[in-house]
Every structure is written in C-alpha cells, then in structure tokens.
C-alpha cells in the first residue's frame, strides 16, 4: 500500500503535461485528484501504522539490505500527513493565485513539476534507504528550482539560480556523506546501518561521512549561516510555491536530519562521541535570534516571513540537537505547527498581492479595514508564530523550553523568550500598520475570493485548534519519539 504514496504523485506528474496538450485546465484537476487521493491513502496507512505498527515495502521484492525499502512508522507518518495536507491546501490555493503569477501557457508544466516536487518530498519522508534519500532530495530540489524560476519577476531567475548552486552543494555533500558511510559499512539500508554502525563509531570515515551528511542537510534546511538561498527563493516565487516550500521543503529536510541522527546513528554517537549536540545547540540559538532580527529589518512582507522561517527552523534544530525526549517531541510538533502557520501567512501575503498588488509592509496601510476577515486570519497565524498561549506555536515552544530546562541548558530560556519578543515586534508592526495606518483612497470592503480565502482560513484556524486540542500532535509526536528511542 505505502508505495502508492510515492507512485500516485509520480504518475500524475507524467499525466499532467500529456493531458495538458489537450486542455490546459486539466492540469489543476489532475493535481487536485492526486492530492486528495494521496492524502486519503496517507490517512488510511497512518491509521494502519498506529494500529498494527510500522509497515514496510520492498522494491521489486528484493529484501533489504540489498533492495530498496520503504518504511512507514510513527515518525514519518506525522511528516507525510502534514506534507500532504499542506500540499492539498496549496493546490486548492493555486488555481486562482496562479492566474496572475505565471504565464498561462506554462500552467500544465507548472503542475507537472509541482507533482514531481510532491513525489520528491514524500519520497524523502518515506524511504528507508539512504541512497534513495539522496535521489529524492535531488528530485525535490530540482523541481523546486524550476518552480521558483517560473515566477514572473526578474529576480525569480536569480533566486532560483542561487538556490540551484547552494542546493547542489548541499546535495553533493549528502552524496559524499552517503559514499563514506557506504565505504565503511557496505550497506545503504537505514535499519541495517543502525545495526552495523555502532562498532564503527570511532572510524574516521564514518565520522567524516556523518559530518558531510549533516552539513548537506543543514544547507537544505537553511540553518542560519547556510540560509542565504532561502529568503529570495521564498520571496520571488509564486505565492503558492512560497507557501508550499515554507510548509514542506525545510520541514522534510528537518525530518531527514532527525532520521539520520537518531535512526541511522544513535543518540550516544550524537551526544557523547562527537559534540554534535553542543555545537548545534549554539548554532540553533544564533539562528533563532538572527532570523528574528533580520525579519525585523525587512520591508517586503514575504521576505519578512522568510526570515522568520529561518528563526523558526532554529527552534526545530534546537529541539533536535538538545537530544532529549521533550525537546525532540517539541521539535516534531513544531515541524507540524510551523508548517500550518507559515503556510497560512504566505497564503495571506499572496492574497494581498493578488487583490491589491501589495508586496511591501508599508503599503499595507489601512488594509485591515478593507479586508477585516483576511487580516484576522493573519493575526491568528501571526500570534501563533509568536507563541501566544492557546495557539499552536505555544505548545511546541513550551515543549522545547521544557526540554532545555530538563537537560539544564538554561541559556536557551532567555534566547527563546527574546526571540519571541522580537517576533511579536515584527508581527505587531504589520498589524499596527494595517489597522491604524491612514489608507489613501477608497475603503470599501473586498475580501479575498473564496479559493484563496478557504485554504488560508483552514490553516490558520487549525493554528488555534491545535493550540487548544493538542492531543493529536502531542500523541503523534509521542509515537514518533517511541520509534526513535526504541521502546
């Protein structure tokens, strides 16, 4: 069953351009059907995983460690669930939004590549083979470069090119890392590696491999000093793609990092044998502060959100590198929550562009009076980003801080709180301008059209929902932790 999770997007990606020759409009419907179908299958198989335990699929019937294996367990089911959900929302959003943001003759090609991207990220999440992981990283990255380049602005091409260069370096690092590990162990299967690696922990080859692998993933993840590609890529791509990339791209890399750190290597290796944990806690803290500070300095709304993503990624890596239960749980919940809120914010930012052509924060003056409902969604998602109680962001930050307190890293507390205040400031700046700014011209109400409003509404309402009904993300992440900690 689980092979269909990758197969359906791949097939529909082939189908889209062919049907697009007949009629351009078919692209959207094929993609939508694909998204719904995949999402349903994922819900079904996730449920199955929860009842019967991990599900495995051997490609071509070759059993691991020789063949390629797909695994669905407690950890990656959370990730593919949120990915598929965000993808579904983005597809719904895309139809109307793309009208103004790409050339219409390319629309079926656009959907083709979007499906390919979907294939890539699902593949990263579901594969149980590290070489296969690299292949899917490349699929996802190459299609992301293309999607960004399809934006109509001149800067889109430059952003895509920058991402291409840095992304390729990252992917190459991953490949080199995999090569070293394969040289040392002779195996590519994750479960098999977990058994073989511990005896080789002191070999330099394994350590070098580990370093390359994590560095490559950090590049893909846009951890602070390696983030240069991200702001422009998010800012100058079509709104749908900004939302999709922000919600899924970095998240899936974060998942891959968790998988490598805790499921291929072990916590003992990360914490005791090499000082991974210590180094990356401080890098993450720097990312958290710098992301928020840089976001504060931005004039362009989407760019501000992009820099805020860099800060939020810092939270995720912080939770990962603290290497204790609560923090890692917080990290997984934050992957989940941050996908929802950042997607909502990018949806709304795209909506402002669609309706009013607004890109800069200064031009938002008085927009809350024109679009009160849309703005209230922005408030919800924005406050969730800050981490106000009863929003999703609060829960994940809470777990991460509690994790830090439990492992006695008290330095984390002021940093996280400081960054919360900074994010309050940059979100509040937008709210203040939009509510109290003097707008020039007419002020009659015009909300977003339904196809744009609906996905934004769903994702931001869920930010509140998961802030109050926390059982689902907490329970899902608890299962994920059980897989990693191996009980």
Binding site for other proteins (CB under 8 A): 388-390, 395, 398-399, 401-402, 405-406, 408, 410, 413-414, 417-418, 420-421, 424, 428, 432, 436, 468, 470, 474
Q: Are 361 and 382 in contact (CB under 8 A)?
A: no
Query: What minimum distance in Å lies between the beta carbon of 417 and other proteins?
Result: 5
36/405 with CB nearer other proteins: 405
Query: What minimum distance in Å lies between the beta carbon of 281 and other proteins?
Result: 16
Cis before 65? omega within 30 = yes
Q: Are 91 and 216 in contact (CB under 8 A)?
A: no
231/387 with CB nearer other proteins: 387
* Angstrom distances, CA of residue 144 to CA of 43, 55, 343, 351: 25, 29, 16, 21
The helix (H) or strand (E) run that includes residue 170 is: helix 154-185
Q: Are 119 and 141 in contact (CB under 8 A)?
A: no
399/453 with CB nearer other proteins: 399
26/434 with CB nearer other proteins: 434
Query: What minimum distance in Å lies between the beta carbon of 421 and other proteins?
Result: 5
66/390 with CB nearer other proteins: 390
202/408 with CB nearer other proteins: 408
Query: What minimum distance in Å lies between the beta carbon of 237 and other proteins?
Result: 33
Query: What minimum distance in Å lies between the beta carbon of 438 and other proteins?
Result: 9
Query: What minimum distance in Å lies between the beta carbon of 390 and other proteins?
Result: 7
Query: What minimum distance in Å lies between the beta carbon of 321 and other proteins?
Result: 19
401/463 with CB nearer other proteins: 401
The token pair at 210 is 């580990």
Half-sphere exposure of 335 (CA within 13 A, CB side): 35
Half-sphere exposure of 442 (CA within 13 A, CB side): 4
Query: What minimum distance in Å lies between the beta carbon of 347 and other proteins?
Result: 24
Q: Are 132 and 117 in contact (CB under 8 A)?
A: no
From 179, 68, 75, 76, select the one nearest 124 (Cα to Cα).
76
Count the neighbouring beta carbons within 10 Å of the beta carbon of residue 106: 16
Query: What minimum distance in Å lies between the beta carbon of 401 and other proteins?
Result: 6
Query: What minimum distance in Å lies between the beta carbon of 389 and other proteins?
Result: 4
For 25-178, strand residue ranges (E) read: 55-58, 69-72
Q: What is the DSSP letter of 262?
A: I
* Angstrom distances, CA of residue 376 to CA of 348, 368, 373, 460: 10, 8, 5, 9
d(CA 182, CA 180): 5
Q: What are phi and psi of 326, to 5 degrees?
A: -60, -45
50/390 with CB nearer other proteins: 390
195/417 with CB nearer other proteins: 417
205/418 with CB nearer other proteins: 418
* 3-state SS record for 4-59: HHHHHHHHHHHHHHHHHHHCCCHHHHHHHHHHHHHHHHHHHHHHHHHHHCCEEEEH
């Amino acid at each position: 069953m689980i092979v269909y999770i990758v197969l359906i997007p791949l097939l529909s990606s082939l189908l889209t351009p062919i049907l697009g020759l007949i009629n351009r409009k078919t692209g959207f419907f094929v993609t939508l059907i694909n998204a719904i179908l995949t999402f349903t299958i994922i819900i079904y198989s996730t449920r199955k995983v929860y009842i019967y335990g991990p599900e495995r699929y051997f490609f071509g019937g070759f059993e691991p460690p020789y063949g390629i294996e797909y695994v669905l367990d407690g950890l990656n089911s959370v990730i593919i669930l949120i990915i598929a959900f965000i993808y579904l929302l983005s597809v719904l959003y895309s139809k109307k939004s793309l009208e103004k943001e790409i050339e219409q003759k390319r629309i079926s090609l656009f959907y083709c590549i979007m499906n390919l991207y979907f294939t890539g990220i699902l593949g990263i999440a579901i594969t149980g083979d590290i070489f296969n992981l690299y292949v899917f990283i490349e699929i996802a990255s190459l299609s992301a470069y293309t999607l960004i380049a399809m934006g109509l602005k001149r800067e889109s091409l430059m952003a895509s090119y920058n991402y291409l260069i840095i992304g390729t370096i990252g992917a190459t690092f991953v490949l080199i890392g995999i090569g070293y590990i394969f040289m040392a162990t002779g195996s590519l299967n994750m479960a098999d590696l977990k058994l073989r690696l511990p005896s080789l922990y002191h070999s330099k080859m394994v350590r070098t491999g580990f370093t390359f692998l994590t560095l490559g993933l950090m590049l893909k993840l846009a951890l602070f000093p390696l983030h240069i590609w991200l702001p422009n890529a998010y800012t100058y791509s079509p709104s749908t793609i900004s939302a999709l990339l922000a919600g899924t791209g970095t998240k899936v890399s974060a998942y891959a990092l968790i998988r490598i750190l805790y499921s291929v290597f072990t916590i003992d290796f990360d914490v005791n044998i090499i000082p991974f944990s210590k180094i990356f806690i401080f890098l993450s803290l720097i990312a958290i502060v710098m992301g928020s500070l840089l976001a504060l300095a931005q004039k362009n709304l989407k760019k501000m959100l992009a820099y805020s993503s860099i800060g939020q990624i810092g939270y995720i890596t912080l939770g990962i590198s603290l290497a204790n239960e609560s923090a890692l749980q917080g990290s997984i919940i934050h992957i989940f929550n941050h996908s929802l809120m950042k997607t909502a914010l990018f949806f709304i930012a795209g909506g402002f562009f669609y309706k009013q052509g607004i890109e800069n924060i200064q031009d938002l003056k008085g927009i809350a009076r024109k679009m009160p409902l849309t703005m209230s969604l922005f408030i919800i998602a924005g406050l969730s980003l800050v981490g106000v109680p009863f929003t999703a962001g609060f829960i994940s930050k809470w777990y991460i801080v509690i994790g830090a307190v439990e492992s006695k890293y008290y330095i984390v507390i002021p940093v996280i709180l400081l960054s919360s205040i900074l994010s309050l400031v940059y979100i509040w700046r937008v709210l203040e301008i939009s509510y109290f700014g003097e707008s020039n011209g007419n002020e009659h109400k015009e909300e977003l059209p339904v196809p744009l409003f609906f996905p934004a509404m769903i994702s931001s309402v869920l930010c509140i929902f998961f802030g109050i009904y926390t059982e689902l993300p907490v329970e899902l992440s608890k299962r994920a932790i059980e897989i990693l900690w191996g009980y």
